[in-house]
Amino acid sequence: MNVDATHTIALDKAHHVHPQSNLRQHAENGPTMITHGKGVYVYDDQGNEIMDGFSGLGCMSLGYHNERLANAAVRQMNTLPFAPTFYNRSHPRVAELCGRLTKLAPGDMTRALIQCSGSEANDTAIKLLWYTNTAKGQPERRKVIGRIRGYHGNTVATASLSGQPHMHAKFGLPLPEFKHTELPNYYRFHIDGETEEEFSARMAKSFEDLILAEGPDTIAAFFAEPAISGGGALMPPKGYWEEMQAVIRKYNITFLVDEVVTGFGRTGNRWGSETWNLKPDMVTCAKALSAAFFPVSALMFRDDFYADMMKNSDEMGTFGHGYTYAGHPVGAAVSLEALDIYDEIDLVGHVRKVSKGFLEKCYAMQDHPLVAEVRGVGLFCGFELMKDVKTREPFDPSWKVGELVQNFAHDRGLYLRAIGDRMSFMPPLIINDDEIEIATERFKGALDDAWAVVRGKI
Ligand code: PMP
């Protein structure tokens, strides 16, 4: 380790507050210090090369080096580095981005609000629902339903909406308006003999029961990721979205589809909504929108929502919402460049092509003694680790089997993400066949390493 690395690690240990991290572990071990990246690889201060099997945080669609994106940012910084979008002001790049995104979006979106993060996009959507329901004369429609283990962000409202226990406990969340319906993890929660379709119907029935118990007239919206990411890389079981969307329509509930992870090709289509035939009223996206070279998100919705916003604005004068960096010119320029690149390299076509081998290799790991279920689509794959595959008995959480696999994978030069005892594998979308081969070999090796530790305990 060079002197500079020792210095920055000491500074980090002493002063940096790490989000979503184990603080005790940080105090003891300090951070892994990543210094640079190229393609699907990142490099740490020790000179180790690590393949990123988790795309940063599911966002590095084009990998870690792209001169066009860098140049787009520099050009924009040299032209107009910042311009507020408040007070009826605009700039060309954000107008172009809104026009382009609403055209690309699933559903009949006509309006886009550009901000910096997925959390901001979803939080703003909640505020907009409350705002437009007031315009409609239905201010009591305030409740928002998410799913247990769903993930929509970290603001007070979006953390409430997310169904992650560690984001609620100790924070006094969720706020009372936020409700959670069941996690559609067929493997874990199906009743013996129940088909996927029957399980999906049961999930939808439970969703409907929740709506009825809360009062349909008090529900503003249902938010969902097409496939659950942060909750453990879960693909929807057969029939799930048909059943759920029937309930959404029956009670006339606004359906917001959170495409923050699934947007821009991850599932082998531009949107997860295409993969699972979802009909959103509102859509949010972020991450791959700018290939993560700049923090950018978008909330998109139909004109009828805008008409209701207009009514309030006519009454109040101003739409009372906005962040300084909303519609940031550099973010808009980088996003436009990313969208150009996606088209030029046919990124969706590439994902479809390489995902065949990727998924085959992932499904082959189903035979590993630690693995109970593999489920995937496109370049998005989840692995359920279980003590007993047949009885579906989980490992003792104190064994931290997922973390063990994650750490062994790191030792072998691969980033994976453990979510409890579920592994999430979602490499950059530009990954090629050879790199997939390397990644899956390292993954298998990590499973073997972990099995050597766990086997003795069973
Ligand atoms: N929605 C989903 C589905 C996500 O996975 C995330 C972040 N991982 C968010 C929203 C929040 O995005 P951000 O971290 O940019 O606020």
The domain spans of the chain are 69-344
State the distance from the centre of ligand 1 to the C-alpha of 260, rounded, in angstroms. Answer: 6
Domain 69-344 annotated CATH 3.40.640.10: yes
ipTM topping 0.95:
yes
CA distances, 438 to each of 133, 249, 338, 426, 445 (Å)? 51, 45, 27, 14, 11
Could you tell me if the CB of 302 is within 6 A of ligand 1?
no
CA distance readout (Å), 408 to 416, 453, 457 = 10, 11, 18
Task: Tell me the pLDDT of the chain (458 aa) as tens digits.
Answer: 555 778 999 999 999 999 999 999 999 999 999 999 999 999 999 999 999 999 999 999 999 999 999 999 999 999 999 999 999 999 999 999 999 999 999 999 999 999 999 999 999 999 999 999 999 999 999 999 999 999 999 999 999 999 999 999 999 999 999 999 999 999 999 999 999 999 999 999 999 999 999 999 999 999 999 999 999 999 999 999 999 999 999 999 999 999 999 999 999 999 999 999 999 999 999 999 999 999 999 999 999 999 999 999 999 899 999 999 999 999 999 999 999 999 999 999 999 999 999 999 999 999 999 999 999 999 999 999 999 988 899 999 999 999 999 999 999 999 999 999 999 999 999 999 999 999 999 999 999 999 999 998 88
Pocket test for ligand 1, best of 287, 290, 296, 380 (most atoms within 8 A of CB): 287
What burial letters (b/e) apply to 392-414, b meaning 16+ CB within 10 Å? bebbeeebbbbebbbbbbbebbb
DSSP string across 56-72: HHHT-TT-S--HHHHHH
Q: What is the C-alpha separation between 127 and 137, in angstroms, rounded?
A: 15
CA 373 – CA 191 distance, rounded (Å): 16
Task: Give the Cα separation of 369 and 388 in Å (integer).
Answer: 9
Cβ–ligand 1 distance for 162 under 6 Å, the answer no
Element (H, E) at 80: none
Give the pair of three-digit tokens for residue 402: 């997922």
Q: What is the 3-state secondary structure (H, E, C) of 256-320?
A: EEECCCCCCCCCCCCCHHHHCCCCCCEEEECHHHHCCCCCCEEEEECHHHHHHHHHHHHHHCCCC
Return the pLDDT at 454.
Answer: 96
Look at residue 3 in the predicted model and tell me its pLDDT. Answer: 56
260 Cβ inside 6 Å of ligand 1: yes
Q: 159 in ligand 1 pocket by Cβ < 6 Å?
A: no
Ligand 1 centroid from CA 161, angstroms: 12
Count CB-CB contacts under 10 A for residue 371. Answer: 19
C-beta neighbour count of 322 within 10 angstroms: 16
DSSP letter at 42 equals E
pTM score, whole prediction: 0.98
> Is 151's C-beta closer than 6 angstroms to any atom of ligand 1?
yes
Distance CA 458, CA 448 (A): 15
What is the pLDDT, as a whole number, of residue 2?
Answer: 55
* Centre of ligand 1 from the C-alpha of residue 364, in Å: 30
Helix, strand or coil, per DSSP, at residue 178: strand
What is residue 389's predicted lDDT score, i.e. its pLDDT?
Answer: 87
Q: Which atom of ligand 1 is nearest to the CA of 117?
A: 15
How far is the C-alpha of 372 from the C-alpha of 361, rounded, in Å?
Answer: 15
Q: Decide: 225 in ligand 1 pocket, CB within 6 A.
A: yes
> Which atom of ligand 1 approaches the CA of 120 most closely?
16
Amino acid at 210: L
